[in-house]
Amino acid sequence: MEGGPESSAGPGPSHLAGGEDRGVRGRPQWLRVARALRSPLTQGRRISEGFAMLATLATLARVAALRRTGLLSRRGGGWGLWTGRPQSDTDNMKPLEGVRILDLTRVLAGPFATMNLGDLGAEVIKVERPGAGDDTRTWGPPFVGTESTYFLSVNRNKKSIAVNIKDPKGVKIIKELAAVCDVFVENYVPGKLSAMGLGYEDIDMVAPHMVYCSITGYGQTGPLSQRAGYDAVASAISGLMHITGPEVACLTHVAVNYLIGQEEARRWGTAHGSIVPYQAFKTKDGYLVVGAGNNQQFATVCKILNLPELIDDSKYRTNHLRVQNRKELIKILSTRFEEEMTSKWLQLFEGSGVPYGPINNMKNVFAEPQVLHNGLVMEMKHPTVGKISVPGPAVRYSELKMSEASPPPLLGQHTTHILKEVLRYDDRAITELLSAGVVTQHEVE
Amino acid sequence: MEGGPESSAGPGPSHLAGGEDRGVRGRPQWLRVARALRSPLTQGRRISEGFAMLATLATLARVAALRRTGLLSRRGGGWGLWTGRPQSDTDNMKPLEGVRILDLTRVLAGPFATMNLGDLGAEVIKVERPGAGDDTRTWGPPFVGTESTYFLSVNRNKKSIAVNIKDPKGVKIIKELAAVCDVFVENYVPGKLSAMGLGYEDIDMVAPHMVYCSITGYGQTGPLSQRAGYDAVASAISGLMHITGPEDGDPVRPGVAMTDLATGLYAYGAIMAGLIQRYKTGKGLFIDCNLLSSQVACLTHVAVNYLIGQEEARRWGTAHGSIVPYQILNLPELIDDSKYRTNHLRVQNRKELIKILSTRFEEEMTSKWLQLFEGSGVPYGPINNMKNVFAEPQVLHNGLVMEMKHPTVGKISVPENLAWRSLTLGSSLRNTVMEVCETSRILNTCREKVITIANLSQTKPGPAVRYSELKMSEASPPPLLGQHTTHILKEVLRYDDRAITELLSAGVVTQHEVE
């Protein structure tokens, strides 16, 4: 689709190249709506769907009105890529500036994704149910004031609108928001949002430009697809849990393995299957991970441990031999490691060229000079809790700096703001919705 | 920078909006080269750098020649975003089609990132050293033929060019490739590539549009930055190991290098963000991904419990969840027991409760529990070993195993959906009973399906994400070392046969006998 953002008139989203509002399969929106009305599926559900259609048409009309106000105009700057407008100056333009994300996810995977997108400049509108909001708000202790640290850890840089999506008026709000957003992310069990009128087909009808991302436990279809996704269960079924844990003494299977050709996956504790030594050793006051990837490194390790006799021992001369005589060798090394404190070993191993590192608890992690140097502790000011620290973004870019983040929102902190600024509702309409309980607003804005 | 891709003449990469080749700070390339020649830094190293400059100018001249041949033309189709040309028809256009990636990474994090980008349609040129190539080619057993399964697992959809980058002629080739690539990914210890003339400054000079992603252990600067990055060490320092393992036992590592994989995923996203940024600004950028930062960022609530809640982290084994299925376990007396009435109380009296439940679970086989838990609404699932994972109907349904034909190993085949033909069933399974509260059932129903053993060793996990507007096409197999050297020199850099023969004789590059 060549041509700039304004290359043809029409009511479609002006950000689409070509201007006219073309749906996923390239047909104009009005035609798709008309066809949907005619389709057998719709005929079968005609009465209830009739109301839904009216609501959709109302939404479309509203969106057209929004466009006429110039809210979605892409004239004068911008790239015609997104629905939103870049928030900051071009000196520190971020990749996703101007991208607006409608975030219906809860708990961890979804919020973690949208948080990372927010770090790159996207505007994230977090939709929560009035009353409880995202489940993790209550996942504690620990709490700081009213906020659970769990919630605080993955929800920075987002605005919270509290909307009851079981209410058709709430669904209407979501659809209007969708029309002016670029991305829709959700993590409902497949089918649940469709039943509420917010499935991909529904959103596609009002916002054919939408990048609709569905995060589920197992996928959209298939035998497990109706199960809610729990990390522990998914990690068990997908094999991660099986291969994590202390060493098991014997293999439980002799069956041929698919992926690695010879043996079933097993647990190795901290050890490596085919490099010895390469694992954690207990010290007097903790644990130290040490690896010897070749004979030279092994010799260095032996020298540091003051066990030079091991270097020329025929049982340990090559990695292959060390693997074969693993138990005996590890026993000798372990005994020696336990004789000193971790800090002593860290001194002795410094500059040796051997890979090594302590098993850090959280306190040690956030005291590591390199962690501080990398700026991995991000501070921000929370409206009720005060100053909080969370792990910051993992990646740095030369052409942009990670700006100060806005804190995780209180439940419904931005409801009014969003209805007013994004959807241009007037005060009367907002008051009605608040009274009806369709939306709620936090006392703190 | 408004205007289409062809809006002004000039020797610059035509894919840049505005046409002319503008460097990072917006000044034309020739000017930047001239200034660099004049700078005090260069004067101090003038003699050796003089040669480097000549080489750079030669490269630039060659790139200009390439452009004149129309190789980098963006006329007639495409979006003006990338240096490469879209490979396939628009019916199944992929997000990264036309993107060309110069991949100098080795082992796991980097190759995993570029593999994922390749799945989205990018062309990945994997640069390997002649002789050994990527270290993981030799990481085994297990091997299948000459290929280690480790290597096979993360290197599909790539072309291999074997180049000796310690040789200046090899460096020249890399720079020429960089000029016609969109992304440069590497995982050398900071400073090493600069010393060879392939650092960001060097690549930026010949390819100011470059999205240059550096993957390291700890970052570009700082007290640990000169250390090579090893997953086990990084996962220890970054806290992951401390929180993994049995409740009363020693720390363990996750069974696969999660820190490496998290870093690879971050790089995958960051590179795409870099490409978006370049589309907007017209210039390239440098990306710093490292194991330490990626893993610390992934600590999320565990870190924040400490940072804000002052609660140190500990290990929990497999413990999770607050729903206890008393009825299914036939322990109704627990329901009203005052010690276990709320989650808070169950947490307090955890040891005793878990003991009772564990004793009960051990009395039955996993398959029995799977039946009983089905449809209960309680979250449950078996701890699957690899065989069980790839017999899971949902896994097969999701098309998570990919099929391709390897030139020497043969068919690496796995069905895209519910065809059972390429998986194996082994001898009887003995699933260990899970430690806490979880069982599963699904596996046994598929155990009756028979599958050929010949193919079983050569399957690998497919792309994790599916998109509505594009389908995952058949992948090309992981390349043999230097399988595409000649092809790349000829088709991408337009070297003639004589030049290629010279380089081969001099050992600057090597070509695998299989093409």
pLDDT in tens, B57-67: 777 776 666 55
Interface of B with A in 411-440 (CB under 8 A): 423-427, 429-430, 432, 434, 438, 440
Rounded distance between C-alpha atoms, residue B163 and residue B93, angstroms: 31
Average pLDDT, chain B: 74
Encoding tokens for residue B191?
């400073």
- Does residue B208 contact residue B21 with C-beta atoms inside 8 Å? yes
Residue B364: CB atoms within 10 Å: 15
Prediction pTM value: 0.72
pLDDT of res. A42: 45
Contact across the interface for A373 and B299, Cβ inside 8 Å: no
Residue numbers of B between 253 and 292 with CB closer than 8 Å to A: 253-256, 263, 266-267, 269-270, 273-274, 276-277, 279-281, 283, 285-290, 292
Query: Measured between alpha carbons, how far is A216 from B42 in angstroms, rounded to an integer?
Result: 56
pLDDT at B324 over 60: no
- Rounded to whole angstroms, how far apart are CA atoms B84 and B180? 7
Please give, rounded to a whole number of angstroms, the shortest distance from the CA of B253 to a CA of chain A: 5
pLDDT computed for residue B445 by the predictor: 26
User: How does pLDDT run across B201-239, given as a tens digit for each residue?
Assistant: 999 999 999 999 999 999 999 888 998 888 888 998 888
CB atoms within 10 A of CB A348: 15
**Alpha carbon separation from B400 to A102, B35, B94, B124, B446 (Å, rounded):** 29, 53, 19, 22, 16
pLDDT value for A275: 78
- DSSP labels, B194-214: HHTT-SHHHHHHH-TT-EEEE
* Cα separation values, B342 from A170, A276, B46, B319, B346, Å: 33, 47, 76, 17, 6
How long a stretch of residues is chain B? 515
Structure-token pair, residue B423: 């998986």
Predicted confidence at residue A239, as pLDDT, reads 73
Torsion of CA A116, A120, A121, A126, to 10 degrees: -10
Active site residue B497: no
pLDDT tens for each residue of B418-464: 222 112 112 122 222 222 222 222 222 222 222 222 222 234 566 66
pLDDT: which is higher, B387 or B93: B93
Higher-pLDDT residue of B472 and A241 is A241
Is residue B264 within 8 Å of B116, Cβ to Cβ?
yes
| pLDDT at site B139 | 80
* Cα separations in angstroms, A417 against A137, A200, A430, A431, A432: 21, 26, 10, 13, 15
Q: How confident is the model at residue B8 (pLDDT cuts 50, 70, 90)?
A: very low
CA distance B237 to B266: 19
Please give the pLDDT value at position B52. Answer: 65
CA distance A129 to B229: 43
Asked if B387 reaches chain A (Cβ–Cβ under 8 Å), the answer is: yes
Cβ contacts (< 8 Å) between A287 and chain B: which residues?
Answer: 236, 241, 250-251
Q: Mean pLDDT, to the nearest integer, of B258-287?
A: 94
Per-residue pLDDT at B36: 54
Taking the CA of residue B192 and the nearest CA in chain A, the distance in Å comes to 16
What is the per-residue pLDDT for B38? 56
pLDDT given for residue A76 in this prediction? 30
Contact, B259 vs B230, CB < 8 A? no
CB A365 within 8 A of CB A302: no
B169 SS3 class = helix
Instruction: Give the pLDDT band (50/70/90) at residue B245.
Output: confident
Using a CB-CB cut-off of 8 Å, the residues of chain A touching B318 are: 232, 236, 241
Rounded to whole angstroms, what are the CA distances from B157 to A259, B9, B112, B482?
A: 18, 35, 11, 14
Residue B10, pLDDT > 70, answer: no
Catalytic option among B91, B167, B260, B336: B260
pLDDT value at residue A266: 64
What pLDDT is stored for residue A68 in this prediction?
A: 55
Q: Which residues from chain B sit within 8 angstroms of residue A380, using beta carbons?
A: none
Chain B interface, best mutation among A149, A151, A226, A363, by max B CB count within 10 A: A149
Bigger pLDDT: B204 vs B49: B204
Per-window interface: A 303-342 vs B, CB < 8 A: none
Of the residues B387, B417, B425, the best mutation for testing chain A's interface (the one with the most A CB atoms within 10 Å of its CB) is B387
pLDDT of amino acid B188 = 96
Tell me the β-bridge partners of B287.
A397, B213
Of the two residues B397 and A257, the one the predictor is more confident about is B397
In sequence order, which residues have a C-beta less than 8 Å from that of residue A216 and are 6 or more positions away? A187, A188, A189, A190, A225, A229
Cβ contacts below 8 Å, chain A against chain B, sum to 380
pLDDT in tens, A5-39: 333 333 333 333 333 344 444 456 565 555 555 55
Q: Note the pLDDT of residue A256.
A: 25
Q: Is residue A95 less than 8 Å (CB to CB) from chain B?
A: yes
Give the Cα separation of B421 and A41 in Å (integer): 36
How far off is chain B from A79, nearest CA to CA, in Å?
7
DSSP category for residue A39: S
B249 touches chain A (CB under 8 A): yes
The two most distant CA atoms of chain A are separated, in Å, by 87
Per-residue confidence (pLDDT) for residue A57, from 0 to 100: 76
- At B206 the pLDDT is 95
Identify the residue with better confidence: B120 or B390: B120
Using CA atoms, how far apart are residues B130 and B509, in angstroms rounded to an integer? 7
**Which residues in chain A come in under a pLDDT of 70?**
1-49, 51-52, 55-56, 62-91, 247-267, 273-274
Write the Ramachandran bin of B256: left for phi over 0, alpha for psi from -120 to 50, otherwise beta.
beta
DSSP at B136 = G
* ipTM entry: 0.72
